[in-house]
Homo-oligomer: A and B are copies of this chain.
């Protein structure tokens, strides 16, 4: 039994099988993929890698499993050594191994249209991870057992367990919100983990007959707080004005170098932040220098956090005009967008004192009103910034709903 210190969960424990998986290259590679890509250039504390997040997700997976099993002993085995619990923990440990360098900053460069989730499954099936899991194959934690948790394509109970790793109430979010906000030095990501674990419960949707992770009425506000924590982390940290322009430069540079993330898992393993940074530091490209020397483009136009359809269309038109008016290379455009939750698709059920079920977005009156974040921005080459800014403002002003105090 390995006990690793952790700033969020105090200790993360790993049994022998988990320790063996921990030692494989796919997991160790995560030490070289920063959780927040380039964000540490803006939030100096945010130097953490996906490695400790993977540990934290595993730790939480066990706790969430236990919380659910306590509520539904007929559905889930309460034994801490049962195969279901071990699978979920392993799936959580491995859930991010497919992440490209710089995490989400440049995740669209996979060959063959792969997603990082696809790569995760490929790496789980790679000889090294499969080999580490081999000895326990007969104990119900073989590669395929874990894969079904990761893909969500398993039997009824497995589909419930899959939600522990990926769903509206998953350990991925639960961990990264706490971890990112600690390392960034902000408080946005805090929510009441204790209360959440106290109130989650497996609930069967009467319509679809599917089991899902639901919540008892007393936990509604804890879940709201989780949703808000994520909302704030997006608006304040992940979509940070400077962080975003650095990402744009990164993508420009990667494109100009023709860099792609291999679809072959073995080749993929040798790509991480470290080798990209090495290349970037040596590169004479202006986009590389923009990052390395912090000599990046500056903000010329920024929308509010939520856009009307008219504004969205108007922005595109204005940007097109600007591109025609200025050198294309003088501008960088970022269309950051994120739904604060997917409760309308994946419904999370709330159970009231009398056992009645109701979807979360009905119960929570303001979750309903948390609309899609859309923060569009145009950045300009510093020397051209003033001209670009003047041009854009002139075009943009008439398109925005007037609301300033008069």
Contacts and interface: CB of A to CB of B under 8 A. Distances in A.
Interface string A3-18: 1111110110000000
Interface residues of A, number: 72
Given A44-B4, A232-B225, A371-B365, A10 B185 contact: yes
A356 interface: yes
A187 B190 contact: yes
A179 to B, nearest CB: 9
Contact of A366 (B6, B183, B190, B370): B370
In the complex, the count of this chain's copies comes to 4
A229 to B, nearest CB: 10
A275 interface: yes
A136 B281 CA distance: 31
Indicate the member of A10, A11, A357, A359 with the most B CB atoms within 10 Å: A10
Given A182-B7, A185-B7, A278-B278, A52 B48 contact: no
Nearest to A30: B44
A278 B282 CA distance: 13
Q: Lowest 3 CB-CB distances: which A-B pairs, in order? A: A5-B185, A369-B369, A10-B194
27 contacts: A4-B44, A5-B44, A5-B45, A5-B185, A5-B186, A31-B40, A31-B44, A44-B51, A44-B55, A45-B48, A45-B52, A182-B182, A186-B192, A187-B191, A188-B225, A190-B190, A206-B405, A206-B406, A221-B235, A221-B236, A274-B277, A275-B278, A278-B278, A304-B363, A356-B404, A366-B370, A368-B369
